[in-house]
Structure 1
Amino acid sequence: MLHNPTSGNLSATVAHRVLQLAARHDLPIVEDDTYGDYHPGHAHRLAALDGLDRVIYVGSFSKTLSANLRVGFLAARPDLVRTFTDVKLFTSVGSSEFAERLIHDMLIEGHYRKTIERLRGRLAQAMDDGLELLDRAGFRPFAEPNGGMFVWAARPDHDPVELARDAAGNGIVLAPGNLFRPQLQATPYLRFNVAYLGDPRIGRFLKAL
């Protein structure tokens, strides 16, 4: 859920269709739910619908707490978990014990839940303000985001790559949509992070377009 870069979510119909296709072709699915805790309500997770039969569910705390806390987790069938555990031991031995203990304590003492609730509120306000700013600047979102931190938006009369280049000249980093496509194919969209749209420099840059 809260797909990067679009902030889109799976509908129940699409989720069931994906699982049906995976079963038909005997394919595993890796569900990357890194931003899922930012979702404000109920959402359809493939892992829950599948019962962890062929879905490998992956989560992380580096996008919700701190990029310095390189701690993640996965849920999968027991045989797959054993395989992944062996791979981890062979490739990286272990993660930071300090970071793991910090996450553990935050989870069992309820601090993580409270932190996420505060972040959701702040992001919701930033999303409202960011969408208003983008609308005034002539950008149209691909879809109305339901939570999260990203807006996938386009302004038809501007090339996103050129726009990102002009922004870089003003000390502003924007992400043109082609960076999120496998062959860097052209697209009219850019990804905006609402956590940074409150920066006055971005507001001035967009107003000047």
Structure 2
Amino acid sequence: MKVLVLYYSMYGHIHRMAEAVAEGVREVAGAEAVLRRVPETLPPEVLKMMGAVEAQQALAYIPVCTVDELTGYDAIIFGTPTRFGNMCGQMRQFLDATGGLWLKGALVGKVGSVFASSATQHGGQESTILTFHPFLLHQGMVVVGLPYAFAGQMRNDEITGGSPYGASTIAGTQGERQPSDNELAAARFQGRHVATIAAKLAG
């Protein structure tokens, strides 16, 4: 059984969460996790102005996904930073190219899940995941979130991402904050949870 962890990460925060998601997937017997990036849409000069060149170069070893690849997986876990309470443009453009898959029903019955990041605690993590879900539903995917079985999302002793909709992390207004242990634990739990459900459906 194969699980795709497909994401866009500008400064590396979502990449770190994606790694944790993949770790969780691999905890399930017989589950293989594959990391892929969506294509970049910003020109190099814009990335340079945004101070993202070094981070993008560090992620260059992760292969870029093609739309046709999506059909080869039992589950797809999407990761996106938040842009004004919604997914980033790079992810949106990739998803908008999947019309051919929709027409053939190629993703129907596959498990779909989402994790996210935002600069601030209330910067739209939940709305980003919730507004991502309609894409999964239109493609006929089985939507899976982060259940309260992961008790870390109920913590109030620290600022943390994570909700019933999916794992998330707070990057900081300057990108200075890396995913916390609790946020990474949520990502691992989500990966394991998705892989467990996908295995049952595939079985």
Coarse TM-score class (shorter-chain normalised): under 0.3
**Larger relative contact order (CA 8 Å, sep ≥ 6):** 2
What is the TM-score of this pair, normalised by structure 2? 0.27
Larger radius of gyration: 1
What is the TM-score of this pair, normalised by structure 1? 0.27
